[in-house]
Chain A
């Protein structure tokens, strides 16, 4: 069993109109090498689902997105993702803006193969007004409480970046917070990962290290070796997010034809030269994790 694939082979598995979920959170652990490969492709009309960072801004800017389903789209130190902001203010992408916790529940429902999860979250807020598909459900018990029936968010594909993987599809994700990568993997029909390190087999004698496995290899259909593949987002503990690059990216959002300029400068061509174009591997590896 060998699940190793190339970036291009993963993107060849994607189709127009698919619903694709992305692991990570804001500028943390985004599968950006895979995202750039999508940006180089002809794919279109995607529904994208994320605790969003630059992947959502870029895919929206490139016209790949029909609908975005998100808890937020942020670069943290730049609170509103600049290309996402532009896209929203132009009104060109349909959105389901969710409370962060509702996204969690929707993914969980999908992973557990149930149609919805009842919750109070969203009631009384404009989440109900701007997601007109949402319905409520009455508790069948004595309390009779009316709750939002948060519908399952089923993904065709999840794309996730990990610290280490083996060719069987086992993965380890380092860092202080596992985030919701496991929920993304479980909500998807198929999950593809990009990884900092790829080995034939993960064989740890340290149980604590092996606990960094967030989802079973049976969920993983393909593994791509993509060192520094989360750039410009962070991968604990390999490198922090690239604030300088993200600031420059943000300035493009204010320019006429800015997305095309960013694309031509950094994304066009192949992923092989990308790390050199953003300053080289040594520079990226030395990017510090931010102090919050």
Chain B
């Protein structure tokens, strides 16, 4: 395993996201968006061959499918995962998705639904809650946020709680809250989790050249640094080769503005 010396931040993020599925159970893994999908493929082709993946639609595959136009590549289907079975899998708890909320708050609540204070007449209609309420209460979810700012990690609560967080006030009186299972949160600055005291947010690694103070300044709620806070590992040459194979059209170069290098200049 040779550590690469030249790599982009997007490639570092793919490697960091893949870690979400290290030691995974034999679960359905869904990486939503290009980098999480590459990350799931990378995990499956290296340390997590046990995970289940689809072709991006409803067929199960054992060989992760490259992003974008496929040329002569033929997907090889090993099974079937139509939407009805996705719901069965979601509700069974045997899934670990990586999702990209537009807003995340201190409770790990996520919003993809709408922006603005009035749900009946939103300032900006986004995707709607989609499957987030059910996913968040049923199975583990990790997050990928390509732009770590106070507009994404907000000071107050998210405008619409699409995915459930650690917020007991959201539960009807007399009921026992179900706490979500949050994996890792990968951003363009760091890797976080919500495993601090009372499920508070922690920074667990910083990307090369990023300081904890900078991450805190871009976050609307207090963060904790874990002891011996380390640098997010650089990709190995082997990992980069797999990423290139899974992304032959270099779609990963279009995700972060300016496609910055993995180590800040």
Interface residues of A (CB under 8 A from B): 25, 70-74, 79-80, 84-85, 88-91, 94-95, 97-102, 104, 119-130, 136, 145-146, 176-180, 291-292
CB distance from A136 to the nearest CB of B (A): 6
Which A residues are in CB contact (< 8 Å) with B121?
88-91
Residue of B whose beta carbon sits closest to that of A121? B134
Partner of B161, one of A104, A119, A126: A126
Q: Chain B, 212-226, contact with A by CB distance < 8 Å: what is the 0/1 string? A: 000000000000000
Q: Could you tell me if A100 and B69 are in contact, using CB atoms closer than 8 angstroms?
A: no
Alpha-carbon distance A98/B132, docked complex (angstroms): 10
Q: What 5 pairs between A and B have smallest CB-CB spacing?
A: A91-B121, A121-B134, A124-B164, A125-B133, A146-B175
Which B residues are in CB contact (< 8 Å) with A98?
129
Alpha-carbon distance A180/B129, docked complex (angstroms): 19
CB-CB contacts below 8 Å: B121-171 with A: 121-134, 136-138, 160-165, 167, 170-171
Alpha-carbon distance A126/B162, docked complex (angstroms): 6
Q: Could you tell me if A121 and B133 are in contact, using CB atoms closer than 8 angstroms?
A: yes
Q: Chain B, 109-128, contact with A by CB distance < 8 Å: what is the 0/1 string? A: 00001100011111111111
Which A residues are in CB contact (< 8 Å) with B165?
124
CB distance from A267 to the nearest CB of B (A): 24
Q: Interface size class for chain B? A: 35 or more
Q: Is the interface of A mostly helix, strand, loop or mixed?
A: mixed
Which B residues are in CB contact (< 8 Å) with A91?
118, 120-121
Q: Could you tell me if B69 and A291 are in contact, using CB atoms closer than 8 angstroms?
A: yes
Interface: B197 (CB within 8 A): no
Which B residues are in CB contact (< 8 Å) with A146?
172, 174-176
Interface residues of B (CB under 8 A from A): 55-59, 68-70, 82-84, 87, 90-91, 113-114, 118-134, 136-138, 160-165, 167, 170-172, 174-178, 180
Which B residues are in CB contact (< 8 Å) with A74?
127
| Known A89-B125, A176-B57; contact A136-B172, beta-carbon cutoff 8 A | yes
Alpha-carbon distance A237/B86, docked complex (angstroms): 22
A-B contact list, 28 entries, CB within 8 Å: A71-B130, A72-B130, A88-B122, A88-B125, A89-B125, A94-B120, A97-B128, A99-B131, A99-B132, A104-B84, A104-B87, A121-B134, A122-B133, A123-B164, A124-B137, A124-B177, A124-B180, A126-B119, A127-B129, A128-B170, A128-B172, A130-B119, A146-B175, A177-B57, A178-B82, A179-B82, A291-B69, A291-B70
Q: Could you tell me if B90 and A101 are in contact, using CB atoms closer than 8 angstroms?
A: yes
CB distance from A91 to the nearest CB of B (A): 3
Alpha-carbon distance A146/B122, docked complex (angstroms): 30
CB distance from B112 to the nearest CB of A (A): 10
Which A residues are in CB contact (< 8 Å) with B82?
176-179
Which B residues are in CB contact (< 8 Å) with A100?
87, 130-131, 134
